[in-house]
Each structure stands twice: as structure tokens, then as C-alpha cells.
Structure 1
């Protein structure tokens, strides 16, 4: 059966020729598993690809890239499929799905792991924690490691061990011409620099090598819930504490609506609250003194911070972030002045749905000690990152929820330099991408793009356009 695309018709023989070259499989429109295969985590993006290539290994990725280029197809690259902006799928193009590629080799002596690109953070934590090791990972365990890493990677180990991308030591990449390169400090060093914060602009990453650190298996971590009428004193008190917190402790404030959790009183369910979340990465016993001031910021509704397995903290929020909802995230790096915190607290009172939230992430520590020029993620000075989340169970009024998130971001961003976290730009709008990088960094990224993807084959991302030959 022929497949219609925006560029023409793909004949059955053409697709069969591709499939014969694969160890994986091709999913076409009309196949029994097509609807399942095309679905992504963020239901705000309901696209119908012409083909989904489920890659079993690097060779399959090479064949898929060559096919996409020869047929002039729009390319979406999928790992965990959590892309908030919807870059994990496309209309009428080809999805190169690396999610079946889930191998991991841990070297506990060198403290390294070689991880295939289809792993989620839950997968990778399972492998590394067997040796008492970890690398900064996502706050939701179903998030894919690849896109998260390429955009930076903010997680509970950020202040002790830096961003995920700061711990990337090498990557295997299939570039736009179908060739495979290894990028590290010695081979393709400019590409390696760009991969650490420059997003998926330069090829399909098929494996990543990370530096690991002793973490767990037990850590001191969890959540402290405060009522809305204490939110201001909690947020301002927390801001003061962040100035002297040890690097082992990474915290955030989540201004949200209380979910119906069993340890929260029923009368609190559905009301706006402030949640302090954190993890102490060192000895849990030593962490008690570090987290004690957090317990005294107000009178908690509930305190569920204590010793727990690292993997438990990594999955703690998963039940609140299941697939199938409509999501829009945006962000701003800020300095937490009184005016900035006033804006954050004010916007919390206008959240359009119970699942919509405003987060304040503590930065600093190891994150701030990485020289700005050493990676494409160069926003090392701000002390906080504000993420704005619009989330709804379905499409009802979702456009207005997105407008709320964008307006909230604009108001809060006035208290910083206007810069954004590239993983949470909300969409691929060019001005949002530019707001993620200083001019000199963006110019350097363009030069790398010119080298490895001069025709912009990989443009479904927070796109860095090449200087010539660009397609949009």
C-alpha cells in the first residue's frame, strides 16, 4: 500500500526495501499497532507520521537517516517521547524511534556507564544503582535519557554533581549524511561541546557515556507540604536558606494544588499549597542537620522527608505525571528578589487547572562551578530556575491554559535576563530558542550545525538553523 506524504507518495516497494535493511521494524498507517506506536507522552501533540522506524541498533538508525534524506522526509527523533514541544512526532514524516535500544554497560571501577539512547531514567537508575552509582537524572523516571541530556538535565544531583550534560563524557551520533561519529574531548570536540546543551540539532544520538558518582542506595529525601497561607513565609525563608545550603542538598519549591494523597488531610485536597521537595545526596544521617531548617519554615501539613532509596526518590513523582495529559512547560532563569517571588506567588493564585504549577528550582553548587564556555549550556550565573507548567487531562480550554503559562513566564522573566532552559522552551519558536543562548554561544552552535547538518535535516527540535541551505 502506498503512503501519501507532504513530499509525495512512498510506494510499498520503497518502504519494503527499507524494512529489509533493518533489524528493527517499520510501522505504517493502517497497521494494527500504528495508533499505539504514534502516541507520545504529551497528548497535546496528536500527529500522524508516514512511517515509524523502530530501531534495534545504530545500523537501523543509519538506514533510517539515509532513507529520510533520500525521500526528503521530515524527521522526528524519539527516545522517551516526553518532548513537551512535540518534537517526538510529526505529520507525514518519519519518526526514528530509538526507544527499543535499551542496552547499558556499567563499569564500576572507572565509574562510567555506556547507555543506549532508548533508556529512560528508570532504566538507567536500575542499572547504575546496582553498583551504588548514579548520574544526575530526570525528576520523572519515564523521561528518556537522550533529549534530557542534550538540553542540559536538571535533577536532584545538580548541586553535588552538576547537570546531566556536565557528566557526559562521550556520545555516538549518526549525522545527517548517515555516517557515525564518536564525539568526546578529543574526537569531534566541537560537536561534543554542542551536544552538552545544544539539543538534538546535530544528529541522532545512539549511545551516551556518563561519568558516575557514588550515590545511595539510601538518601535523605522527600516532600514537606505547607498551606497556602504560609506560602510567602515558606518561599522567602527557603530563599534565605539556599544561600548557605551544602552542595549535597538540592531543593525546589512547587506551588501547586494538593492531590488526594493518603497522608494529606481530606480537607486539604484540591486546595493550593506550597511543597518543598529536596534530596541530600550524601550520608542520610549527616543530612538531617541540613534539612532541619526546612521543616521549620512554617507549620507543615505533612512531612514525608526522610531516608529512602535513591530509586524511590527518582520515581516519587511518577504517579502525578502519567502519559496522556495535555502539557505545556516554559521557563525563565531568575534572581529571587522580593519582587520576583511576589510575581511567582501571585501567578500561583491564577493556575487554570489543579495540575498546573509553578516551580522554583535551586541552582548553584557544582552546576555553577562549570565554566560557562566549556559546554553549550552556558547559563551558570542565575541562582534559580522557574518552570511554569500548564497541564490538563484533555484538550478542553487548553489554548487558554497555554496562554496563562506564557503570560506567567513573561511576568516572572522580568526578574532575570530573559533567558530560558532549553528543555522547557514550551515550543520551537525561534525567539524562544534564541533566549536560551547568549549570542556568542548561538553563533558557535550555528558553526557546528553547518558542519554536521548543513541542510537542517534535524530541525524538529529547539532548532539552531545552519547559516546556509536551511529548511524550515
Structure 2
């Protein structure tokens, strides 16, 4: 069953939308879509196919001035506001019923300054947009593992990617933001300007306004890197995961890796004999020279007899797109996560048992190697609260048939419940499928609460993880 709220009546929605448009129109230069307009229904669809909603109005601003006008009007009319960035969100927080969606996808401009090692990205940009710009100069910002991921959502929630152990989280490279707060004012926030607000935006979620531009610090990587991606049969999973754990204990910060457990897809680039078989895969990127990385990652290619080895020296932009096809628009998604205190033999056995019990072959059980640069930032330096765990468990349930919704959700919850005894009790904000208390992810709830009261006392931006 889709996650759906009861929408308002068509007549009420039409009236509310007309009133909002009348108030906003003189100051808004973007596009407006109301119910019944061509393209409205398509514009309501989100990446996660389980999320259905009926906003009264969708706004597509072109400038920060447009965003400020929309926020002021929503505040004046006390209209609920949801903000949609450029990418995807498993919890579907980019929409609402009976309210207004500010859709930033047209604000996706990226401007790179390689001399200063800085890049500015609009609030609607994706990591693919950023990578295509910065990799021309062999530079990058730590982004996600999927190029269609939005810069805004990933950064505001922290941001795990292939460079997390070398250069930290996405939010750790954030230099400044331009943001429209709930009073409709445009502010800049950095370590110098509005530093308390900047602290909250570094991993504390989207509770404080609409970020229209991000400025990041760039790091040297690419244009080619060594990328390891090796699929082993699940029958060898126990030894593969133990050996990977040993590799993680001794590798340098140049390496960021993860273990994935799932089912091999059919078709290219996988050999026919591997299609449909359960696997344990090891993925890793080396952030230094490709030739050095090739030697360092070679042990990950020798943990057993592979079903398939896709490892190669690869353009960084292609590495960032390697998993894009696994997360198409409209598929049904329900993910959960837990930070792990360790990954001992008992935890390995349980991960393999959970892999065997998945109700959908599209689902994966993943274990992310953490540590490195992300742990060298003080826990209270940003709102991202949990930096010390050595591993992160990600249970990514993905399926197609709506009739299987509850089965997949129940299995996901049960899987995390079984793994809880190995965990810190905290989870990763960007992998939460429903709204949760911000304290669930380890942030300072009291400090965030005080800042929320200061910048958004009426809770205009309410479609977020709760403070």
C-alpha cells in the first residue's frame, strides 16, 4: 500500500491554489503548476514509488528571489511548504498534501573555480551535475554513490560517498550556503556569517529554510581512479566478509569500501551463468593514483573465486554512475540503517541469514566501512552526530509490486531489529524511510531545537525529520 495522506477536496484545493497564486504572482518569475494543469500529475511523482501526495500547487523558481517570494507568501497565508531538491529521498519528504511544493530542479547551475578549489551548486543540482563540472580539472566534492542523488538532501543529512575516509562527508566540505529562512529573508551562512545556522545545516536536516546555493571545498581526485567491484558467490560469503573485515582494519584512508549482499541481475555486464545467483560483493575506491590503487585493492579481488569481477581503472564520473541503474525512478523503496559497533563473526552470520531471507531479489544488505577523515572532526563541530562507529549497516529494500509493500517493509524493520544488538542504537538520517526524531541520528537535539525556534518558530518547514 502506498504511503498516502488524505488530500483536500478538489474545490478546496482549487480555491487555496488560486489564493496563493494571486498573492505570489507579482513577485514570482518561475513556473507554477496547479491541479488540472498540463504536467501537474507528472510533477507530483517522486523517485520512491510508494510515496503519493496531492499538493495544491507546485512552484518551480528560477532565482533565489523567486524562492524568497514563495516562502513569504506561504508564511503569510499559513500554507504548508515542502521543498524538493534535485535528487531523491527515500522518505519522500519533498512533497505534501494540501500545500505548496517548492521544486528547485531548475536551479541546478554549477560554477567551478579550480584555482580557488571551490564550487558553487544550486539547490536543485545533482552530484552528476557537480562531477561533470569539477572533473574537467581533476577535482571533486565527496558526494554519494549515485549520480542522480541531489546535492541538497545528501549534504543536509551528512553525505556518505566514495571519498568519505579520505576527505570526509559531503557536509564536511561545505564552505557556505545561501538560504531563504522562514521569514523570507535571504541569508548567507558559513563559519563566519551566521555560524550557528551553518552548524545546523551541516548534517542536521532541512528544518531551517530553503538552501538555494551550496559552496564546497574541492579535493583532488581523478579524472581516473581504481575502482574495485567483485561479486563472489554467497556460499563463500562467510570467508569473503571475514577477509574484507581484516582488509578494513589495515587499509589507509585512501580506501573507502563497502560490502553488498544481494542477487546478481541478468544481462550485461554480468555473465549469463551469474545472473540470478545470490552474491556477496566488495566495492572500493582508491582516492590516490590509479596504479597505486590497483595494487592496494588487488587483495579484494582475490577473496575467492568470483562470479564476476568488474574492477578497473575507471573515470571518476563513471564510478559515480555505477549504481544508477539499480535505483530507477518509480521503483518502490524502503530503507533503514544502523551504525555498528563492530562486525564480528556473529554479525557476519546474521547478515548472511538476512540476505537469504529477503522477500525481493532487488533488495540488498550492505555494510559500509567508515572511519578515516570523517572521524577526525569533533563530534560537536557539526550537527552530524555520529562519527565514531566503524561500520554502517544499510538495509535497502527495493521492489516493484505494490501488493508486496507490507511484506518488504516488515522484513526491513525485522532485519534491523535483529541487528540492533550489534549497533550503537543510532541511524543515518538519509537512510530513514519515515520521519524520525533528529535525536535518532545522534545530533544535539537541544541545540537544534533552540535554532529551530530562532529561525522557524512557526514550523513552516515541517516536512523533515523532527527536532
Q: TM-score, normalised by structure 2?
A: 0.95
Alignment pair present for 1:12 and 2:18 = yes
The CA distance in 2 between the partners of 1:122 and 1:8, in whole Å, is: 37
SS at match of 2:401: coil
Match for residue 363 of structure 1? 370
> 1:4·1:92 contact (CA, 8 Å) conserved in 2?
no
Equivalent position to 2:42, from 19, 27, 36: 36
Partner residue of 1:436? 441
1:340 positional shift: 1.9
State yes or no: 1:88 paired with 2:91. Answer: no
Pick aligned residue for 2:380 from 362, 373, 381? 373
Check conservation: 1:25, 1:55, Cα contact below 8 A: yes
- 2:426 aligned with 1:419, yes or no? yes
Cross-structure match for 2:348: 341
CA distance in 2, matches of 1:3, 1:62: 28
Report the counterpart of residue 60 of structure 2 in structure 1. Answer: 54
Structure 2 Cα separation of the partners of residues 381 and 308 of structure 1: 31
**Are 1:192 and 2:193 counterparts?**
no
Let me know the Cα RMSD of the aligned residues: 1.7
Report the alpha carbon displacement of residue 207 of structure 1 after superposing the two structures with TM: 0.4
Match of 2:451 among 440, 448, 452: 448
- Contact kept, 8 Å, 1:3 with 1:12, in 2: the verdict is no
Q: Which residue does the alignment assign to 2:360?
A: 353
Change (3 A) 1:5 1:218: farther
Question: Which residue does 1:132 correspond to in 2?
Answer: 138
Do 1:140 and 1:315's aligned partners in 2 also have CA atoms closer than 8 Å?
A: yes
The residue aligned with 1:157 is 163
SS at match of 1:355: coil
Displacement of 1:295 after TM fit?
Answer: 1.2
Indicate how the Cα distance of structure 1 residues 73 and 173 shifts in structure 2: closer, same or farther if over 3 A, else same.
Answer: same
Q: Which residue of 2 aligns with 1:166?
A: 172
Shift of 1:138: 1.3
2:338 aligned counterpart, secondary structure = strand
* CA apart distance, 1:15: 1.3
Unaligned runs of 5+ in 1: 465-472
Q: Distance in 2 between matches of 1:337 and 1:421?
A: 21
Taking a change above 3 Å as real, the CA distance of residues 262 and 321 of structure 1, as seen in their structure-2 partners, is: same
Question: Offset of 1:434 from its aligned partner?
Answer: 2.5
Q: Is the 8 A contact 2:87 2:126 kept in 1?
A: no
Cα distance change, pair 14–359 in 1 and its aligned pair in 2 (3 A): closer
2:411 is equivalent to residue 404 of structure 1: yes
For 1:394 and 1:24, the matched residues in 2 are separated by: 36
Rate the CA distance shift 1:369–1:7 in 2: closer, same or farther, 3 A.
Answer: same
Taking a change above 3 Å as real, the CA distance of residues 156 and 212 of structure 1, as seen in their structure-2 partners, is same
| Mapped partners of 2:308, 2:87: distance in 1 | 34
Q: Please say if residues 42 and 324 of structure 1, whose CA atoms lie closer than 8 Å, have aligned partners that are also in contact.
A: yes
Kept in 2, the 8 Å contact 1:19–1:25? The answer is no
Question: Structure 2: where are the runs of 5+ without partners?
Answer: 1-7
Corresponding residue number in structure 1 for 2:108: 102
More off after superposition, 57-66 vs 337-346: 337-346
| Residues paired across the two proteins, number | 459
Match of 1:220 in 2: 226
CA deviations on 1:397-425 (whole Å, 9 max, x unpaired) are 11220111111112112202110001112
